[in-house]
Amino acid sequence: MVLVPRWVSSLESGETARMDRASDSGANIGRLLPFSMGSRFGFIGQEDGRFSINKIAKSNVSLSENHWAEYEAEPTRLAVYDNTGETYAEIDTPHGYPFFLNGRMFIVGSEQNSISEIDVSGSVSWTYEFAAQLTCVDAAAGLLLAGCLDGSIVIIDSAGRKVFSFEPGGSRYPVILGCALSRDGSRLCLISGVDKQRFLYLEHFGASSGDYKVVYHEFLNDGFRRPVFISFIENDSWVIFERVGGLGFYESGSRQTAKVDLEGEIKVIDQSGGQGLVFTIISRPDGMKELAGIMLPDRVMLAAPFKSDEVFLGRSDSRLLIGGGQTIIAFELEKR
């Protein structure tokens, strides 16, 4: 497996230099990928490296694959745009802060203990109030999964109704530090607790929409006291999550975990995987950044150091985008 460079784009000039034989006029934009690096954010075409949006952030930014919004510390009105810069929705008196998941728009309340879904007209479809402050959230298949400071999770359906709740327990300080839903909503995974931190994997059983049961859990030797990255990858057949000293992997078929040791702080992680490979960028103790490519489940097959204060990592199938400094470069994953 090799990385073949395809193009390089400058955030400052907005210009793109191609490294393959495709002409600029004949190249397709391809899927637009969101990026955020330093003070800049926007969307870039995976195939041709051209920016549909390339902006310097003037305030807070919420960004997803399809939508984005800039907002002040106490927004009184919100304008939501699509990935080409067209106005998608306008929200009056939001009483909170926007975020976007799975093509849906939400507002998290200013007290961080409520979520409202917003429709394309800017109106509130529903609001759900939680018993404690929110610590993590994910959405898929018309469901919203939320983890809370009190150690509970709640799943809410598309109408704003609670269909499942659960408290993992087993820790001195109960708190949900990370959560993720599979694309079909039939599985979910959690990082739970401080002082005996745990990884948990739940699957849906039975006819009821709220029948989820723990099918695997593992105590992690050490734990974090901050939000932890966790996500389904490889068409939901694997879960990747942060653990002290590196990354953890869980395979749903074998119900076994593996660990990859990485020296440094994890800055960003490939959230999709593909071809049995997943990538991450870490900040090493010597101040260098390093792109690491991992062959599932536990073999580091690439370690490429580089210098940059800010970094970006994007992935779409076999196309890998890496950002550093004021540049984004695209590679194609090829077998030779």
What is the span of the domain harbouring residue 114? 58-129
Identify the CA nearest to 10 among candidates 333, 336, 331, 326.
326
CATH of the domain at 83: 2.40.10.480
Identify the H or E element spanning 236: none
Residue 77, domain member (yes or no): yes
pLDDT reading at 231 higher than 80: yes
Lowest-pLDDT choice from 58-72, 200-214, 240-254 = 200-214
Q: Is the pTM of this model over 0.85?
A: yes
Reported confidence tier of residue 16, pLDDT bands at 50, 70, 90:
very high
What pLDDT does residue 21 have? Answer: 65
Residue 80, domain member (yes or no): yes
User: 260-297 burial, b for 16+ CB within 10 Å, e for fewer?
Assistant: bebebebbbbbeebbeebbbbbbbeeeeebbbbbbebb
Sheet holding 87-92, edge to edge: 60-63, 67-71, 77-82, 87-92
Residue 92, domain member (yes or no): yes
Residue 163, domain member (yes or no): no
Residue 95, domain member (yes or no): yes
Residue 122, domain member (yes or no): yes
In the chain, how many domains are there? 1
Q: Residue 204 forms beta bridges with which residues?
A: 212
pLDDT digits (tens, 9 = 90+) for 82-135: 999 999 999 999 999 999 999 999 999 999 999 999 999 999 999 999 999 999
Residue 124, domain member (yes or no): yes
